[in-house]
Structure 1
Amino acid sequence: MNKIMYLEFERCIGCRACLAACRECGDHEGTERNYVDYVDFMESRQTFPMMCMHCKDPACARVCPANAIQITEEGVVLSASEEKCIGCRNCTFGCPFGIPKFDFDQNKMYKCDMCYDRSKHDIAPMCASVCPSDAIRFIDYDEMQTLRRRRTQLNLVEGRKPSEQDKWQYVPEFFGVYTD
């Protein structure tokens, strides 16, 4: 896999097409594995897409006592294997982003797998393939670096300095998802 997911939160228009596409993905059994949330519901209607960050050293996998969460050779963090998952929900508590969800009816954990059946062949995950505002993109790493440099240059021209809150977005510990 030569591509990564790239998120630009401020581009999100709240259409939730990504959620509908996620439900339609082959092995998702009609469940959404990504989310659209409000930046600050009381102040604005601005939304942002949220999905698994596919961390290089994922906390969800580290805290799983059954070793049910696997990481592919490409770095994609997969949902818990049904055969191994014991339903302890450590992954849901361990993830700093609150991504893994637990289905009590089916007694299993699920999260974004970056549509691994598609992305391993460099085909965009369902959410990225339908996003009308390009808030979610499946692009080459070099293209992502170019976009980030351009964004930094624009911020410098406009005199905007990254706030403390923005700095987490530039931490390079994530494999498959980068945010700006």
Structure 2
Amino acid sequence: MTRLQKFIRVLPFLGLFILFSLVLYGLHLGIFKSPVLLKNFIHQFGQWAILVFILLQIVQVVIPILPGGISSVAGMLMFGNIYGLIYSYIGLIIGEVLAFLLVRHYGKGFVKAILSPKKYEEFTDLVGTNDEKKIQKLLIWTLLIPFAPDDIVCLVAGMTDISFTKFLRIILLLKPWSIGVYSYIMVYLFEHHPF
């Protein structure tokens, strides 16, 4: 194996290490407690702010570090309602796909590593549903109902027989609705009852 091949193999791990370091730094600073603090933190990155925001959205699906909706509100505050939703959509779709594929590859061990014991219990209750049509309906309903645990259902989908194509089609079509309704409700709550 050449040095270049070794470097290419190490590159994803290096990227994850840098990203997790940024997340830990953000936790230390307390930026995940409020949309305004998160917005101010991401704005520091200047022209890279959009990329940092999208990466944050990806990470928060796979490793739930944020209270629900804070990042979407921050995105709308930073980039405006339309662009904030678009950037949230891009990051969350990539995150959902990544989570699905990681669960499909590593199984329950991966899920146990990223979820709290309470969330893991919810996950195991849902995994009993291996019927493809039932999991499709469950995924559709959790994406249509604001504040439903769609991230957990995406993890569950990775443990079932649903095809990746069907999973992708459902989240691509319904995630904009889910993000839009959820984000606008959170922005309204934030504006009328600041965190």
Q: Taking structure 1 as the reference length, what is the TM-score of the superposition?
A: 0.26
Q: Using CA pairs under 8 Å that are at least 6 residues apart, name the structure with larger relative contact order, 1 or 2.
A: 1
Structure with a larger share of its residues in helix: 2
Determine which structure has the larger strand proportion and give its number: 1
